[in-house]
C-alpha cells in the first residue's frame, strides 16, 4: 500500500493556524519527530528560497521549522509542521520539505482569514496572483489547486455546522501567495478577527475536516454520508468566473451538484485577467470546463471570455446547466442563492 503524504503547515505568526494545530494534536495521538538541523534548513532555503515580503518590509523571519508531528490514518500519513515564517511567502516549500526528507502529495495551509466586515467564516481557497504579487508569490502566476479536496473540506465543515452555527462555511476565490508549488495546495481558514481565530470550537471543526481527507467513501446508512458520497461521485471540475470574493453560487453548487472548483475568479477581477493567467488556470486545474456566474458578469467580460475559451476548446457551463446536468436532486443546505 502506498501512503498519501499530506503536509499540514501552520505559522507561529498566525493565531488561527496555531489554534487548528492545537486542536489536531488534541484529537489524536501524534508522534513528535525531530526537525532537521539548522544547517539543513538553511541549505534548503538557499536552494529553494521563499519569496520576500513587500507588505511587511520591516519584518524578517527565518522561515524555519520549529516542530513536526505525524499521524497515520487509513492510507494517509499526515505531517504537521509549525513554521517560523509567514505562510503567504512559502513558495517552493514543497521542494524545501522534500530536500529535508518530507515528501508531499498535498499541502494544506492552516491559517486565518481577515476581512473588514469581520464576518464569522470558515473558508477554503486556492492561491494565485492575477496581477502583482503584493501578498506573496509571483506576479501573474497561479498555484496547482486541489478541487476535490476543497469540496470534501466544505462538505465536512458544513456537516459540523451545529457546533458553530454563527459561522458561514464558504469558498473564497483565488488570491495571494504562495504561487510556486509543484504539488496541489489549498488554504483552510478561520475568519475574520482575533476572537474567531482563537475560537476552539471553530478550530475543532477545521481540524476534523482536515482529518476527513483520509476518510474513504464507504457505504453507510447515515443519510448525510450517503448524500455526501453522491455529491462526490463522477465529479466534474471547473474553473469559475464571476460572483463575489466568497463565491456564493460556487459554494451553493458544492452542496447540490457533482461539480468541484479549481481556480475561481470573481467579477471584480474579470476585466484585468490576461489570456496567460486564464489558460494557466485551466492547465493547473486540469480541466477544459468553465463555469460562468452569468448574472454577475458584464457583457464585455462574458464575450471576451467566451471567445477565448471556445477558441481553446473549453466548454462553458452556466448555473442552470450545472444544475440540469450534474444536479443530484437534493441540496444539503439552503442558501439565499439557491433560487436565484
- Closest by CA to 247, choosing from 156, 326, 118, 151, is 151
Q: How confident is the model at residue 180 (pLDDT cuts 50, 70, 90)?
A: very high
Backbone angles phi, psi at 5, to 5 degrees: -100, 115
Same domain, 263 and 182: no
User: Cα dist. 284→180, 239, 289 in Å?
Assistant: 11, 10, 12
The residues that bridge with 9 in the sheet, in sequence order, are 81, 109
pLDDT at 299 over 70: yes
Q: Is residue 47 part of a domain?
A: yes
CATH code for the domain of 177: 3.40.630.50
Rg (CA), the chain: 19
193 and 55 together in one domain: yes
Q: Alpha-carbon torsion 47, 48, 52, 58, what sign? A: negative
Is the predicted pLDDT of residue 334 greater than 80, yes or no?
Answer: no
What is the distance between the alpha carbons of residues 124 and 146, in angstroms, rounded to a whole number? 10
Question: Does 228 reside within a domain?
Answer: no
The set of cell numbers assigned to 85 is 515564517
Q: Three-class SS of residue 306?
A: helix
Residue 94 has pLDDT above 70, yes or no: yes
- Is 221 inside a domain boundary? no
Q: Please check the confidence at residue 79 and state whether its pLDDT lies above 70.
A: yes
289 and 205 in a common domain: no
Looking at the structure, tell me whether residues 212 and 247 fall in a common domain.
Answer: no
Same domain assignment for residues 286 and 322 = yes
- pTM for the whole thing? 0.96
The residue segments making up the domain with residue 68 are: 4-216
Looking at the fold, whether 266 and 332 belong to one and the same domain comes out as: yes
Q: Give the end of a domain, one of 191, 216, 241.
A: 216
- Residue 57 is predicted with a pLDDT of 60
Q: Is residue 224 part of a domain?
A: no
Question: Strand order in 76-84's β-sheet?
Answer: 31-33, 64-73, 76-84, 4-11, 106-114, 185-192, 121-125, 168-171
Average pLDDT, stretch 172-192?
A: 97
% the chain with pLDDT above 90: 89
Number of domains in the chain: 2
Mean pLDDT over 175-194 rounds to 96
Together in a domain, 45 and 157: yes
Neighbours of 67 (CB within 10 A): 17
Residue 225 forms part of a structural domain: no
Calculate the average pLDDT of the chain.
94
What does residue 215 show for φ and ψ, rounded to 5 degrees?
A: -75, 135
- Same-domain status, 242 and 207: no
Instruction: Provide the pLDDT for residue 268.
Output: 94
Instruction: Give pLDDT tens digits for 8-51.
Output: 999 999 999 999 999 999 999 999 999 999 999 999 999 999 98
Residue 336: band (very low, low, confident or very high) from pLDDT cuts 50, 70, 90: very low
Q: Is residue 319 part of a domain?
A: yes
Q: Give the pLDDT mean for 101-119.
A: 94
221: left (phi over 0), alpha (psi -120 to 50) or beta: alpha
159 & 51 share domain: yes
Backbone conformation region of residue 105, classed left if phi is above 0, alpha if psi is from -120 to 50, else beta: alpha
Beta bridge partners of 84: 64
Mean pLDDT of 258-263: 98
Examine the pLDDT at 222 and tell me if it is beyond 70.
yes
- For 11, the grid coordinates are 505559522
Nine cell digits for residue 107: 499541502
Helix (H) or strand (E) holding 191: strand 185-192
| DSSP states of 96-111 | HHHHTT---SEEEEEE
Task: Indicate whether 52 and 198 sit together in one domain.
Answer: yes
Q: Is 189 left (phi over 0), alpha (psi -120 to 50) or beta?
A: beta
Phi, psi of 36 (to 5 degrees): -60, 165
Amino acid at each position: 500500500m502506498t501512503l498519501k503524504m499530506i503536509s499540514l503547515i501552520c505559522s507561529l505568526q498566525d493565531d488561527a493556524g496555531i489554534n487548528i494545530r492545537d486542536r489536531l494534536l488534541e484529537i489524536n495521538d501524534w508522534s513528535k519527530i525531530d526537525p532537521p538541523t539548522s544547517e539543513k534548513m538553511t541549505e534548503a532555503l538557499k536552494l529553494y528560497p521563499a519569496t520576500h515580503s513587500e507588505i511587511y518590509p520591516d519584518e524578517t523571519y527565518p522561515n524555519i521549522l520549529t516542530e513536526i508531528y505525524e499521524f497515520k490514518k487509513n492510507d494517509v500519513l499526515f505531517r504537521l509542521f509549525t513554521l517560523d515564517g509567514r505562510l503567504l511567502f512559502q513558495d517552493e516549500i514543497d521542494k524545501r520539505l522534500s530536500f529535508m526528507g518530507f515528501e508531499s502529495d498535498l499541502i494544506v495551509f492552516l491559517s486565518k482569514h481577515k476581512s473588514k466586515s469581520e464576518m464569522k467564516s470558515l473558508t477554503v481557497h486556492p492561491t494565485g496572483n492575477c496581477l502583482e504579487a503584493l501578498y506573496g508569490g509571483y506576479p501573474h502566476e497561479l498555484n496547482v489547486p486541489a478541487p476535490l479536496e476543497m469540496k470534501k473540506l466544505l462538505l465536512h465543515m458544513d456537516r459540523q455546522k451545529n457546533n458553530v452555527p454563527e459561522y458561514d462555511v464558504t469558498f473564497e476565490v483565488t488570491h495571494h501567495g504562495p504561487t510556486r508549488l509543484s504539488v496541489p495546495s489549498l488554504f483552510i481558514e478561520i475568519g475574520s478577527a482575533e476572537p474567531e481565530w482563537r475560537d476552539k470550537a471553530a478550530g475543532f471543526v477545521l481540524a476534523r475536516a482536515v482529518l476527513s481527507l483520509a476518510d474513504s467513501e464507504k457505504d453507510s446508512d447515515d443519510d448525510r454520508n450517503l448524500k455526501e458520497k453522491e455529491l462526490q461521485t463522477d465529479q466534474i471540475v471547473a474553473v469559475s468566473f464571476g460572483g463575489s470574493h466568497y463565491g456564493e453560487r460556487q459554494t451553493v453548487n458544492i452542496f447540490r451538484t457533482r461539480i468541484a472548483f479549481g481556480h475561481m475568479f470573481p467579477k471584480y477581477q474579470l476585466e484585468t485577467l490576461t489570456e496567460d493567467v486564464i489558460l494557466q488556470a485551466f492547465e493547473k486545474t486540469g480541466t477544459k470546463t468553465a463555469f460562468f456566474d452569468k448574472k454577475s458578469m458584464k457583457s464585455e467580460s462574458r464575450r471576451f471570455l467566451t471567445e477565448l475559451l471556445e477558441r481553446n476548446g473549453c466548454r462553458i457551463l452556466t448555473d442552470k446547466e450545472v444544475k440540469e446536468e450534474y444536479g443530484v436532486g437534493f441540496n444539503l443546505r439552503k442558501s439565499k442563492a439557491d433560487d436565484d
